[in-house]
Structure 1
Amino acid sequence: MTQDFDAFHAALAAHDDVAINPSGNRSLDRMVDAGRRNVLKGGLAMAALGFFGGGISACRAVADDGLLGFKGVPQQFDAKFDKVIVADGYSATPFFSWGDAVLADAPAFKGDASETWEDQLKQAGDNHDGMHFFPFPDAPNDHGLLVINHEYINPTLHSAGIVFVEGKRKAEDVKKEQAAHGVSVIEVKKDGDGHWQRVAGSRYNRRISTLTPMQLTGPLAGHAAMKTASDPSGLEVIGTLNNCSMGVTPWGTYLACEENWHNYFINRDPADYAQRVSHKRYGIAKEGVSKNYGWETADARFDATPYRDQPHDGHVQEPNRFGWVVEIDPFDPTSKPKKRTAVGRFCRECSTLSLGKDGRMAYYYGDDTKGEYIYKFVPSGRFDAANPKAARDLLDEGTLYVARFDDDGKGQWLALVHGQNGLTAENGFASQAEVLLNARAAGDILGATPMDRPEWVAAHPETREVYVTLTNNDDRGSKKPVNAANPRPHNLHGQILRWNEAGGDPTATTFQWEIFLLAGEPQGAKDDKGQAVPANLIGTINGDAFSSPDGLAFDPAGRLWIETDFDDIEPAMARIGCNQLLCADPKTREVRRFLVGPRGCELTGITFTPDGRSMWVNIQHPGISYPASDGKSRPRSTTVLITKNDGGVIGS
């Protein structure tokens, strides 16, 4: 049996978007019906004033004359569209694609996917996602390390696609897939003509994968829940996977985030599954094969069924070792990645830093599943810029919080602390380790607000105002009722929220929030039959229409960049065209379309040089033949370099 590209991505979408949250949490005891009706009408006046009238004072550092200095590009509806278009005056150049050499002895990409798993360990992985540019201090805008996540793999990784033989996978194919997951670190530098180049043979160049040993740290290091037959110490995990978005630390390390890790495991024991919260609440498979690739048919550690004749129940606890933040030192290629367990376990999209002037900080996370929660972690210690080495283990101690969004525009961060607010042994949490291991279930008990697929978080570089993308949720209204923060039933297009922490303090436990915009079609939009588009598909965008905001980042000047991820086969999304990169002015809320990607792709991952004159974005899973764009070549996920033709600042 072989899976083709379109069928594979349809299957991924089907199970990645399944709502799992059984709690029925409803943060709003009394809905503000009039306010919700106004939002559903798509009124721009409501968006401009803020959901509850006065709004939040947005990004006071933004210049009054606006930030968007480029002309927007049009939507693309051609079913054969197979290139990247960018705003006039800019260039978009393929820079680093799946199969490109990372290590000095890597073979050149063959084009037919005939490379072995050993070859793949030396080459760029598949499905580029979150990334960050780490500058060298002596030339911060001309020289640095580019660190890139490889979230998952496409069937195009193999010459024959994903093949099952009598229900099982070949071990060599599984190893190649595991090698194509993870992270790439590459040195990049401008040449004598000012053009960016990858530095071949750099001592910094490195591949981290699902085959790389990693250290467990924090409260669950060595804990009984982390011990397996292959690691009875509970201290070392082999590999990371499904690294979607990311984060950085002020001490110069990279944070890879493990998102839909649950789709790689299976537990076929119905009785065990029913009582094992660490499996059931995260939705790992319970029959057939695991939801993504059937790795367990060739690699026993992905079979989390409890076989009683094995020590530590075999690998029943292997899923507990995924769903964490992985800290990587890009400047030390000999360093061992560390899974930081104090920050909690869920399907984490990002790890976004907000750093206060006094060194106190918070990290924000979206749990990328329909009906799940938004979290933040506040380290106990402070960052001291004069002694960055002292910060190396700050992520091993602190407090994890989950968000409640109330109907009056106020919000509360609820502490996930053992012994408080019902997080007790009587409710299934014997210690803080169990709270962190089962953070979703702990959030259920505290009454956190179920959200419309929380994804990337971005914090304004000056004001520390925080934004989050809620990509979409077609289950909203059936499994989870609408509420003020998630006001649309059958929400196909998603929204962006923003909030200010009390006193501008990232460690505060209260905040003020509002809806920045509802994505979707403009007022008066018609469908293909000339009928008015339903109200739940109408947005409040001041500018260019888009659907399903996902990637989100501020550039150094305070522009908010928005990347989209939607299935353009869905009729409502097809009217938006191909996925795109947009830019928003946080003060005026104006949105302009800056770039459109090839058919079938997701726009994801974004990073800048400190001067804002170079930008990289990722084209994930293009559907035809990009970057060759010849209609014949195997498509390759690709990091694209964006520059302004006059050498100016991107977006100006």
Structure 2
Amino acid sequence: MTPDFQQYHASLAAHDDLSINPSGHPSLDQQVDRARRNLLKGGLGLAALSLFGGVFGSRELLAQARLLGFAGVPVQTAADFDRVLVPPGYTARPFFSWGDAVLADAPAWQADASDDWQAQLKQAGDNHDGMHFFPFAEAPDSHGLLAINHEYVNPTLHPNGISFVDGRRPLAEVRKEQAAHGVSIIEVRKDTAGHWQRVLPSRWNRRISALTPMAIGGPLAGHALMQTAADPAGRTVLGTLNNCSMGVTPWGTYLTCEENWPHYFVNRDAQDWEARVAHKRYGVGNGERSKYYAWETADPRFDATPDAGQPHGGQVNEPNRFGWVVEIDPFDPARQPVKRSAFGRIGRECAVLSLGADGRMAFYSGDDAKGEYVYKFVPAGRFEAANPQANRDLLDDGTLYVARFESNGSGRWLPLVHGQQGLTAENGFASQAEVLVNARAAADRLGATPMDRPEWVAVHPVSREVYVSLTNNDARGDKHAVDPANPRPHNLHGQILRWNEKDGDPTASEFRWELFLLAGEQPGTKDQEGQPVPAHLSGTINGDIFSSPDGLAFDGAGRLWIQTDYGDDEPAMQAMGCNQLLCADPLSREVRRFLVGPRGCEITGITWSPDYRAMWINVQHPQLSYPASDGQTRARSTTVLVTRDDGGVIGS
């Protein structure tokens, strides 16, 4: 859009990527440097064999035929590239953009962004992210609901960008920004010609925003740590924030996850901020204004500075009410969303299910910041397919674990349980509630492995192998030592790691892991000056290069889809071009580029119809004028529908 637009997203990225983990312990032992050298010198295959004693991926479970049945598309480096490129034989079309009607009485989107906040509550929110297709049982391949996250907002939400009047935000602007966060649920179906369309009006269509009341479930419901002057009972939160990735339950509900929520709050009391782990360890602002939008200048709920003159210290606990998994029933618009506090409070990227044959479950999450951790939550109960009501509150009781990746390829899940492993009152954890509210600090205490920005998790549909994207970390080697799971200093390109739980049990406390790939350029590549690309920018990709893996998902055939998020104007990313969607074969590790998005965007969010003949992905914060692509119209974050021209399965 403009240099200011680029600067805005760069500033958000800088806040998102901050390393605030104070733990200085090296996560693994002195084999680290040798393992890193082996990986970079000998290639991933040799390193994996020597480090793990075998190759991951069951040849019996994974398809013998080549999984990647499409022609790869080239990188797009042109500064004015403003469309979505897919392989020959495929079509990509804009399907659902910021401002599109969700409710039947929503006004038409105004290209000058003059819609007010009441209109925005009825329209698609901004910056589409994680999403899922929920089919109707009577016609699963042609009729369903799309649940779509709206992570944050762009300055283009307003006619003249984000503004201040006498140092304060206009309340009308703040309300529109709050309305543009959250989740859209829309009904979609094939028409008589076989084309997918949005359904309007629909009794299922729904907007959930930063202004939607939602219940608190689990151990923190009614706890003193959740009580504020506005909600002395500590049981009802107004809204959800920074909804990035997601998950689904086997009983058909949507799990939206709150990621970079700390930057919406400010605590101006420097002494209190320093002592309050629930603020400092998460990066709640401690300056004149909060780090994102300065909402607190118009809405006091976001000013978390303690006020002794108000009940419960005013809004000092308001940040404690964010950072959770929020469960939403897409098929029951009357049912209130619930924040499931047993999952723990982090900067959560996702909550991805692994379901055992006996009904036992695990939900995996990345905490998306430099040097943070990988978690899993194991509910105490089991899923009962024949008894839906018994599953309704399964997520309110269970155990949260954090991962330690050992240097020999083994791993352990460390339970974050009050009274165990130093999680005691003497160390600042007076109860399980304090452990969950301060999950990052509890994980520090247990000695979890600091990771290179852990983001999305994907579980193979048959083998239950678990994959996690580690997007990048330019502070690796400085604040946290390199190690076999995070083997590169100044890691600009990231990696994908995978593991097998012991005995294939999602609830196991032990696992075996390996690096699936290191993203980056091919070894031996030369830069524009003809010099070899530095080792920390070279990867181990078998196929098309990419940087900064973010979104991950498996389709039903076991193809691993990889989405990227990097600044495509950064010098180190020039060879990568615009952000991408790629597809990988887990057994051969071949990677092929399937889609390229418009300049300045992130490619994120992915879901399919049950027959895998329709794919939806999201183009977030395009820089130019997509989806109009006319060089004039205001750019809009957009959900894109991808289909094969012959009606076949995507990717085959």
For this structure pair, what is the TM-score category when the shorter chain's length is used for normalisation?
Answer: over 0.9
Aligned to 1:112: 112
The number of residue pairs the alignment matches comes to 651
Aligned to 2:586: 586
Aligned to 1:637: 637
Q: CA deviation at 1:66?
A: 1.7
Q: CA deviation at 1:594?
A: 0.1
The amino acid across from 1:466 in the alignment is V
1:157–1:65 Cα change, 3 Å: same
Deviations 1:522-569 (A, max 9, x none): 021111111000001100000000000000000011100000000112
1:646 equivalenced with 2:652 (yes/no): no
1:192 equivalenced with 2:192 (yes/no): yes
Q: CA deviation at 1:40?
A: 2.1
Aligned to 1:530: 530
Q: Distance in 1 between matches of 2:266 and 2:8?
A: 19
Aligned to 1:75: 75
* Structure 2: stretches of 5+ with no match in the other structure: none
Aligned to 2:219: 219
The amino acid across from 2:590 in the alignment is E
Aligned to 1:615: 615
Aligned to 2:177: 177
Deviations 1:228-278 (A, max 9, x none): 010000000000010000000000000000000001000000111011000
Aligned to 1:466: 466
Q: Distance in 2 between matches of 1:44 and 1:431?
A: 44
Aligned to 1:301: 301
Q: Distance in 1 between matches of 2:59 and 2:612?
A: 18
The amino acid across from 1:140 in the alignment is P
Q: Distance in 2 between matches of 1:321 and 1:50?
A: 46
Deviations 1:345-381 (A, max 9, x none): 0000000000000000000000000000000000000
1:398 equivalenced with 2:390 (yes/no): no
Q: Distance in 1 between matches of 2:580 and 2:309?
A: 52
Question: For the Cα contact (< 8 Å) 2:56–2:587, is it kept in 1?
Answer: no
Q: Distance in 2 between matches of 1:328 and 1:50?
A: 45
Question: For the Cα contact (< 8 Å) 1:3–1:163, is it kept in 2?
Answer: no
1:383–1:50 Cα change, 3 Å: farther
1:549 equivalenced with 2:549 (yes/no): yes
Deviations 1:583-602 (A, max 9, x none): 00001000000000000000
The amino acid across from 1:319 in the alignment is P
Q: Distance in 2 between matches of 1:227 and 1:177?
A: 25
Equivalent residue runs for 1:217-256 within 5 Å: 217-256=217-256
Aligned to 1:311: 311
Q: CA deviation at 1:47?
A: 6.4
1:204 equivalenced with 2:178 (yes/no): no
Deviations 1:416-436 (A, max 9, x none): 000000000000000000000
Q: Distance in 2 between matches of 1:518 and 1:51?
A: 15
1:633–1:306 Cα change, 3 Å: same
Aligned to 2:421: 421
The amino acid across from 1:437 in the alignment is V
Structure 2 residue matching 1:85: 3-state secondary structure? coil
The amino acid across from 1:370 in the alignment is K
Q: CA deviation at 1:54?
A: 1.8
Q: Distance in 2 between matches of 1:296 and 1:51?
A: 51
Deviations 1:6-29 (A, max 9, x none): 221111011111100001132312
Q: Distance in 2 between matches of 1:380 and 1:82?
A: 48
Question: For the Cα contact (< 8 Å) 2:33–2:482, is it kept in 1?
Answer: no
The amino acid across from 2:313 in the alignment is D
Aligned to 1:86: 86
RMSD: 1.2
Q: CA deviation at 1:38?
A: 1.8
Q: Distance in 2 between matches of 1:270 and 1:345?
A: 23
1:19 equivalenced with 2:19 (yes/no): yes
Q: Distance in 1 between matches of 2:518 and 2:460?
A: 20
Question: For the Cα contact (< 8 Å) 1:25–1:444, is it kept in 2?
Answer: no
TM-score when normalising by structure 2: 0.99
Q: CA deviation at 1:33?
A: 3.2
Structure 1 residue matching 2:371: 3-state secondary structure? coil
1:514 equivalenced with 2:514 (yes/no): yes
Q: Distance in 2 between matches of 1:53 and 1:568?
A: 38
1:54 equivalenced with 2:61 (yes/no): no
Question: For the Cα contact (< 8 Å) 1:182–1:243, is it kept in 2?
Answer: yes
1:356 equivalenced with 2:356 (yes/no): yes
Aligned to 2:567: 567
Equivalent residue runs for 1:108-147 within 5 Å: 108-147=108-147
Structure 2 residue matching 1:4: 3-state secondary structure? helix
Aligned to 2:321: 321
Deviates further, 520-529 or 227-236: 520-529
Q: CA deviation at 1:311?
A: 1.2
Q: CA deviation at 1:43?
A: 1.8
Q: Distance in 2 between matches of 1:400 and 1:411?
A: 16
Q: Distance in 1 between matches of 2:402 and 2:429?
A: 16
Q: Distance in 2 between matches of 1:59 and 1:165?
A: 63
Structure 2 residue matching 1:536: 3-state secondary structure? helix
Q: Distance in 2 between matches of 1:99 and 1:122?
A: 8
Question: For the Cα contact (< 8 Å) 1:89–1:646, is it kept in 2?
Answer: yes
Question: For the Cα contact (< 8 Å) 1:423–1:442, is it kept in 2?
Answer: yes
Aligned to 1:336: 336
The amino acid across from 1:94 in the alignment is P
The amino acid across from 1:508 in the alignment is A
Deviations 1:138-174 (A, max 9, x none): 1100000000000000000000100012211000000
Q: Distance in 2 between matches of 1:413 and 1:44?
A: 25
Structure 2 residue matching 1:14: 3-state secondary structure? helix
Question: For the Cα contact (< 8 Å) 1:457–1:469, is it kept in 2?
Answer: yes
* Structure 1: stretches of 5+ with no match in the other structure: none
Q: Distance in 1 between matches of 2:170 and 2:3?
A: 15
Q: CA deviation at 1:59?
A: 6.4
Q: CA deviation at 1:53?
A: 4.3
Aligned to 1:626: 626
The amino acid across from 1:634 in the alignment is R
